[in-house]
Structure 1
Amino acid sequence: MAGCTTESDTGRTQHGTDPAEVAPGGAAAPTTTVITPTPSTPATGAPRHTPAVGKESPVLRTEPSADPSRRSPPSPGREQPAPMRKSTPIRVRIPAIGVDSRLMRLGITGNGALQVPPNGFPAGWFTGAPTPGETGPAVIAGHVHWSGRPGVFARLDRLKPGDMIMVTRQDRSTATFRVSRTREYPKTSFPSAAVYGDIDHPGLRLITCGGLDYVSDKYEANLVVFADLIG
């Protein structure tokens, strides 16, 4: 996710979290870096690459793929729809919080971190994970703030279980997800396996920064929204 930085530590205004272009050690990578998108994984597994992220970014550390025997099931009490075929996502809409954004591609930097969008808009999708609608955890990241203004995911913390997320795909289909839960994790103990680990159904994770420390003016956590495909 995007590095969560402030004027005090980088000379720039506060950023929110998107796929981070931050090295494992926490040093922000140049925002001008151009990364070649990583091919999407098949519809039957965890992301091919798990982004590595340091303290000042959306904590996505490299870890082995989750044990297939321990795949996370979909939310209980909900019918599991058939997975969709692979198709590039081009737009995300979240009516509950007024989000309607096109999607850019986010790959992996040379130091193993998730590439960060160059601005507060649009959001981006991680090309190293399944596309939204395929089996597995699709990943979309966006900034909370950028250059002193709200970013695409400025209101992500307002999402509640039951809210809908619609992802329009290049094949003209729409993958509709229902939020199952939201969690905020300290950057020092981000649960990579729970967020990026293999699952046996189509899922979606929205990631941004959270836990703003008003004294240091830095984001100390990552907010993750978990959602399941419903149609």
Structure 2
Amino acid sequence: SHIDFEFLQTIIGVTPGCSGNFSGHRTEGDLLVAVDFTGGGGTASNSLYQWHCNAEPGPQPADGTVCDPGGAAHYEQITVPSSVSFTINAATVPCGGWICRDTGGVTAQLAANNFLEGGLDLTVLNFTGCFHTFLPHTRTAQSFSAALTDFAGPAPLATCRTPAMTTASNPTGFNLAPGVVASDHVTVQAPSGGATPQGTVAFFLCGPSQVTAGGCPAGNSVGAVKTLVVGAATSDTTAATTALGTYCWRAAYTPTGASVGIFDTATHTDAGAECFAVGVPGPPDAGRGLNLPMPPSDFVPTASLQGDAPLRLEVPALGIDASVESLGLLANGAMAVPQFVSDAGWLRTGAIPGSAGNAVIGGHLDGKTGEPAAFWALGRLRPGDAIIVTETDGTQLRFSVVRVGQFQRQAVPLVAVFGPSSEPHLNLITCAGPYLKDHRTYRDRLVVYTRLAAVAGPNIRTWLGRRSKVCASSRLSSSVPVRSAHCT
């Protein structure tokens, strides 16, 4: 028999099936112990090999440097006294509590030369990395370059300890002002007591477009790498927080000094203590979902002028012609819904249709008995379709559909729907997806994003959002008018 035992620093995976492929990498310092049973299995010998990135005699890079097969990368046989210890049973041994198998099947004892024990002394080998995968396999012949046959694994293996990391963002909370100065603090400890880890920490900050449910998966580097002092470090500050939404930190630990080969590299992030929110209501891990308060008054214009309120909403492509109710906020801060299923409802605490900002009009999908409601067919809208809003003073605003999005109820992008904008937008929202009987609501929300395309009527607003009287037109203009010198 000819058996190899590989110890690999990267995590090795394999696709299912006998013809599957391995994933992962070989790295400088990977080890392989080749064991050969010769003379009819009566003689056992072993050899130690180490993966080298460069041709001999080197020099070689640091342990853990990735260098996959090809080029100069290779396994080099090494001889380091007292680094390898292997023992073969010289006589029959009982299996005890183990399940043993030989060529005849399950057996209660193992014949001589059938049981092998071995070990590697990583200190003697001056190995400074951390192994993560154990991969045994067999060869067809004694030659080290013989074809490989059977594989057992890959199996997880951890020779280093993963440190325990705790972090805290400064500031925390929500409704923070854009441009707020932020930093992160990390504490790194041994997982079960013992010496405090030595090393460095790099800090990364994910913006609203990068944050996920788990926190910060990657992020942008912030400041210099910090050296741990008694197991703690604080990042440099950053004011790259101008976009509205949730921000989360990530800390990446690298061992140095006496911790090399003892502690593994590690990263830490979460969606709680590592996060804060700029201009977003609710806790730091909120920022999305309809069961949360709407964006605060500090970031959304709330004062409407007399005669500004929308009266009717028409969607010619769908045959929708609905009255528009004026809606406020519920006690929990969420948007109210229209009283009648045939009506739409404008959120009066948000932007006014036609003014700079995101005005929002919602509507029911269906009624209690399943009858179609005002926004039953809203999902059929396509980019370019027209939405016409008539205000109480007779002004007509024509909006053009930009895109249609469908989100799970807890994942609606609040800032994009209700937040501020320098241009006039109107967003329509209704239910979508399967009905959740236990929750008495639909799983999803459909959002139709539109932008102002034209205005017509007795009192026409400039597209910058300021009220001004202009010469009236008997039809919808092809562009948004500006102040006219001929009118007062």
Q: TM-score band, normalised by the shorter chain?
A: 0.5 to 0.7
AA aligned to 1:106 is: L
Post-superposition offset of 1:143: 0.3
Match of 1:62 in 2: 293
1:169 to 384, 387, 391: 391
1:87 to 308, 326, 329: 308
2:359 to 138, 144, 147: 138
Preserved contact between residue 360 and residue 417 of structure 2 (Cα < 8 Å): no
Post-superposition offset of 1:96: 0.7
Q: Secondary structure at the match of 2:323?
A: strand
Structure 2 residue ranges without an equivalent (≥5):
1-243, 245-279, 283-288, 300-304, 455-488
Cα distance 1:63–1:95, how it changes in 2: closer, same or farther (>3 A)? closer
Cα distance 1:226–1:60, how it changes in 2: closer, same or farther (>3 A)? farther
User: Counterparts in 2 of 1:121-136, with a 5 A limit?
Assistant: 121-136=342-357
Match of 1:14 in 2: none
Match of 2:431 in 1: 209
AA aligned to 2:450 is: A
AA aligned to 1:221 is: D
Q: Secondary structure at the match of 1:160?
A: coil
Post-superposition offset of 1:192: 0.6
Q: Secondary structure at the match of 2:426?
A: strand
Cα distance 1:60–1:228, how it changes in 2: closer, same or farther (>3 A)? farther
> Quick check: 1:153 aligned with 2:375?
yes
Match of 1:199 in 2: 421
Percent identity between matched residues is: 36
User: If each structure's helix is expressed as a fraction of its own residues, which one has the higher value?
Assistant: 1
Distance in 1, Cα, partners of 2:421 & 2:306: 16
Preserved contact between residue 208 and residue 223 of structure 1 (Cα < 8 Å): yes
Match of 2:445 in 1: 222
Distance in 2, Cα, partners of 1:177 & 1:85: 22
Post-superposition offset of 1:130: 1.5
C-alpha offsets along residues 119-145 of structure 1, whole Å, 9 cap, x if unaligned?
A: 211111110112111111111000000
TM score, norm. by length of structure 2: 0.31
Q: CA RMSD in A?
A: 3.0
Distance in 1, Cα, partners of 2:294 & 2:341: 28
C-alpha offsets along residues 156-185 of structure 1, whole Å, 9 cap, x if unaligned?
A: 000000000000011211011000000001
Distance in 1, Cα, partners of 2:319 & 2:294: 34
User: If each structure's strand is expressed as a fraction of its own residues, which one has the higher value?
Assistant: 2
Post-superposition offset of 1:51: 8.9
Cα distance 1:63–1:172, how it changes in 2: closer, same or farther (>3 A)? closer
Match of 2:177 in 1: none
| Mean CA deviation greater in 188-197 or 144-153 | 188-197
Larger RCO, structures 1/2 (Cα 8 Å, 6+ apart): 1
Q: Secondary structure at the match of 2:293?
A: coil
TM score, norm. by length of structure 1: 0.63
1:179 to 395, 398, 401: 401
Post-superposition offset of 1:60: 5.4
Distance in 2, Cα, partners of 1:176 & 1:159: 15
Structure 1 residue ranges without an equivalent (≥5):
1-45, 53-57, 69-83
Q: How many equivalent pairs are there?
A: 163
Distance in 2, Cα, partners of 1:90 & 1:159: 21
Q: Secondary structure at the match of 2:317?
A: helix
Distance in 2, Cα, partners of 1:64 & 1:119: 25
Distance in 2, Cα, partners of 1:60 & 1:135: 25
Distance in 2, Cα, partners of 1:124 & 1:137: 14
Post-superposition offset of 1:113: 1.9
Cα distance 1:63–1:90, how it changes in 2: closer, same or farther (>3 A)? closer
Preserved contact between residue 356 and residue 422 of structure 2 (Cα < 8 Å): yes
Cα distance 1:173–1:64, how it changes in 2: closer, same or farther (>3 A)? closer
Match of 2:329 in 1: 108
AA aligned to 1:59 is: L
Distance in 1, Cα, partners of 2:437 & 2:310: 38
Cα distance 1:218–1:130, how it changes in 2: closer, same or farther (>3 A)? closer
Post-superposition offset of 1:61: 2.6
AA aligned to 1:187 is: R
Distance in 1, Cα, partners of 2:321 & 2:292: 29
